[in-house]
Every structure is written in C-alpha cells, then in structure tokens.
Structure 1
C-alpha cells in the first residue's frame, strides 16, 4: 500500500464517516456528490465526467483527482447557528488542530507546516481551507514505479459546518503540481456546496441540476391545485409530500437556512377565502400559536400583481428566538394556497428579494 493511502485512511478513522444515504449524480459535464444522511444534507459538484472508487471508504477518483469525504460531530454547547462567527471559527479550527496533533504525534513524529485560510464562497458560506506538505522523511519506504504512483506532496482539507457536522473534503496534489492552482480549484468547488435545511428531495434535485446544466429552470406544475411556479437556481428542494406541500430552503449563510413552504388546501375545508385568510393570518393576536411558535406582530404588505390574496410580514417566536416571516395567500379554482417565508432577524433582509421574485413567478392556472 502506498504511503499516502495509509495516511488518508488514518484520517478517516479519526473522523468517523456515516455511510447511510451517500450517493452521486452523473450529469452531462459534472459529478454531484450527495450526503443525505441524518442531520447532514448537502450536495457538492465537481467538474468531471467520471467517478470510481479510490479503494477507501467514501473516497473516489472524480475525473483525475482523488477526493475523500469526511465528517465529524462538534460540541453544540460551543457553537450553534445563533452563535457569533468567532465560535464557528473555533469549531472549524479545533477540527484542524485535532488532526494536526494526530499527524505530528502518531504519523510523522515531527512538526508539519500548515497553511490555512478562512473565506466565504459566492453564497456567503464560510469555509476553512487548510493544507500541509508531507515531510520528505515520510517517503523513505515508498517506491515510485510508474507515473500513477507519484509521490503525494500536499494534502488539502476543505472544511465547513453542515447542519450537525463539520464536513471535510480531502484532496491531494503531487510533486510538480501548481499548489496555488490547486487551491483555486478547491475554492471553486466550495461555490457548488448546497446545504439543505432537511432531507433532500433526490429526484427533484437531480432534475433541477440537470436543467441548470442546460441553462434552464424546472417548473413545479400542480394541475390538481391549479398553479405552477418556477424553481429558482438558489432553491434547495426538501423531501415533502407533494400532494399537499412544496418545501425549499435558501442558501446557507452563517449556517442559517431560510425556508419557503407552499401548502394548499381544498376549499371544502373553509367557508370562504376570507375565512381561510382570517384563520391563518388576519385573526391572529399576540400570544396565539403559529405552527410550532408564538405569534407576535403583523404588518400588511402589497401583494404581487400575479396573485389574488393577501401578504403580511409577521414576527414570531420559536423557542427563545425571534423570526421575521412573510405569509402570502392566493386562491385557485379548487384550492386556497398559503406561502410561508421564514427567516431570522439577521437574514430576512438578505433573502426577502429572493422570496419576492419566487412568488412573482407563480401562475394561477385557468
């Protein structure tokens, strides 16, 4: 076994990787890795047209590069998505320190030079990229017999928080490769990270990503309820009962994923559209229950021209946290529809335009 294979395997053991619900998509010009295991829920895309096992658990040759997908739990008493950025960095850097201490003490028996960088991807998600160069002494027992068995010179770890775990993608470079180009390539991969707010709708996500490779968007067409809506590029589709609801989350920022939920109800359940609006919005008073939270305040908003209902900004309390929401309704021939946008105080302004653009694409069918 090559020396670099041993090192990667040891890193895997220290992290521990859940193997449930791991899969991948093969699109026309890319490979999408999917981790749909409990409390993880993310995808990441690689510009490649082939994938095969690299001979280690959860490690693959994607195109011409080796990638291993790792994750570890973190202490929720230190960090959650209400914590300050400093606490997130503390968790990310602790994951690096744990591995560096292990490598220096158990693998190489000497100090290693570590480079690290914290950056935001194009969606505003925070990543910690760290790398090290293998000491020359590590190659004493390695025989390089052909071009494939080149010496691995550097290891790279792209770390971020995905729901309840620190996710890490490990890759390598070989002697003669440009390290700066490798780092830029890894950063480009970070831009494709999609962290979902719950279990992933696998079929819907595949269809959406496949369409995006053709520079088009898919539409959710509900002939039964009498409406259709375009699924935007930012939308992460969650698994839901599509006979009654469509649920999606927005891009992860500071490990917060704002949610959009469309639910439709048969008209027989209500006396009128006005009755529907009163029950769900208009008659709500401070202290009333609102789903799993408590209703606090509401403010009427202008509704988009394509819809025929009402729109309100609502403040609610879930647990000890305040949330800014929008509730929007409309009526079709057969159903009443409620659209909920749920955001934190800090993320509402960041994402409300996405929500407004989304509801503007709704078409009520004749």
Structure 2
C-alpha cells in the first residue's frame, strides 16, 4: 500500500506519533511518502521512499492549520498527482487540506485531543496577566475552530478521523462530528527503547548527568509539567503525602515549565510548602533518555485536566512502572490494559483542586505495589496494523 503521510513536524507528542507511525507502517511493507515542512528524523529517513518539502510556518494555533492548508494546497495537489497514493494520512485540523483538494483518495487524520475538558478548568489555572489572556484565547479559539473543521470535513465521503482514545472520539461526536467518520486507536510505544532496565545503573547515569541523588526516598515521577497537566495540584498532594506517609518521598519533575507566571507560581508554591528538598526540577530531557527516569521511579503521576492519549503513560508502563492518572482522555484505557485493579490508580476530577484525592490515590498505589503487564501495552507495530486494517476497509 502506498501511503502519503502529511506531517506538520517531528517534535513534541504529535511529532513522536508521526515518526513512529511512519517507521512502523514502512517496516510492515508499505511504501510511505513523507510531505512535511520539517526534515524527517534520521531514524525514519532510510525507511521512506520519498520526501517532499512543504512550506514552513511560524504561526501557532488556531491560525496554523488554515494557513498551512492555504499555502500548501497547490504543492500537495502536485504531490498527489506524482505519488498516486492509496491513502493520505495527516494530523488534526490539517485535514482541512482534504476539503480543499478534489480527490477520491481516502484521507485519515489523527486527532490527538480536543481541549474539551480544559475549557472547564482553564479559567482557574494560576497563570497571570497577559499570559492568562493569551492562554484563554488560544485554547478557546483552537477548540471551536478545530471542531468546526472536523464537523465540516466529516460530511465528505472519503474523509475520516482517528481519535487517539475512545473518550476523545466521544468528545468529537458530542461536538457534532459525524460518528460514522470517527474511529479510535490508542497511541503505541517503542518497546525497544521503553523497557525494564537495571535501576542502580540508571541511578548512576542520572546522578552523573542530572545530579539526581536518592537516599531511601519513595521516588515519584512527573513528566511534561504545566497548568493543563495539573503540576500545581500534584505539588500540593506531595505536601499532604509528606505529612501522612512514614516514608520519605521525592518528586522528580521532568520537562520545562511554562508560561513564566505559572513557573513563578510553582517555584513559590514549593518554597511556601517547604518542599525544596522533596521536589526536584530536572528540566528538559531528550526523549530517548526518559526510560532512565521511568525505571528508577516507583510511580509516574499524570494529574492532567485534559488529555488525548499521553505517551507518558504507555512509556512508563512499558518500563514496568505503574501510573496514577486522572480519568481523562485515554488514561483509563491504558491503565485498564496493564494494571490489576486499575481503579486504585485512577483519579476522578470532581473539583478544581483535587489534591487531597490525588494524595490518597498516590498513597494507595505506593502501598499496593502493582506490577504492570508489559505485554498488554501496544507497540507502534500493533497500532500500525490497526491503522492498516482501517485503511483497507475504506480504500
């Protein structure tokens, strides 16, 4: 099967999905052609037959998708004539291209999330001033524009959406998207990279490179912090745990924190709660080094207000580390696949500040000590086979 994959970039969560899907689809014997404004990473370059450069944009959502479609429409039309693909695969609202180009070739677009839940909570996040206004406008406008695009394109016979979780699919349907044009497929994980490793060896690596020193603490991990990720709620939970647990705990926060007013709030919160020796900020870490952190942690915490299908969860589970997560997006799907008694690890958000509930769940999970069923976590090859089945059904 010849697949034209229109990828916006190869960085961040969307980029990791684009890269791994490309690799798996090509290794399964398909002819994958990439069209992107970004150069394909080295890992997939030798597996694709052709690369077409698209025009780059410095714009952000909500302007990115419509402008991308307009300035790249003629280029993509020419690529389709040259390549003659069986299937066209793209991401999110870039599916707008499908409505601008007349072709009978089936189009699929991966929807990585909807911001549906974030609309409920974004007003209360501790972000200040102009940054708060920018955040509100970006999230609100992006959500409504994306839903309008999805409603419009799924009226067409040959355009389909692939939501990254069942909950995301339902959010699309609730927003008025044609349910017969929306499917759900979880994200996968590269099990060659994310796997159980020797804990002591990893501790030694992280001590040398990132100054991580552990002295009998119960080690917790939080990756990709931010307001939407509930980092401030987690820090409040750590303060509660510190008072009620007999054992010492340490929280490692991996990733950059923004915007600046939110970062300042987090730093102030840590000081006010006297958690300077308990919460350690690591900063940005290359994606391929995350397995070192997952393997030394006793638990990974994902207290997000909104998600699609966060890669953190299958990555952590594939390394053998259980996850405590909120019941949003695909979080519960992953935990129900891999953990015995998953309800012990799932946190229902009933109010904005759910720190007490989260602390209780973390304490319960630390005492339960479940071992994830690594085999049940889907690899990217498992996921690519599901995509191929969809492609064949619709082509």
TM-score by length of 2: 0.30
The structure with the greater share of residues assigned to helix is 2
Whose RCO is larger (CA < 8 A, sep 6+)? Answer: 2
TM-score by length of 1: 0.31
Larger radius of gyration: 1
The structure with the greater share of residues assigned to strand is 1
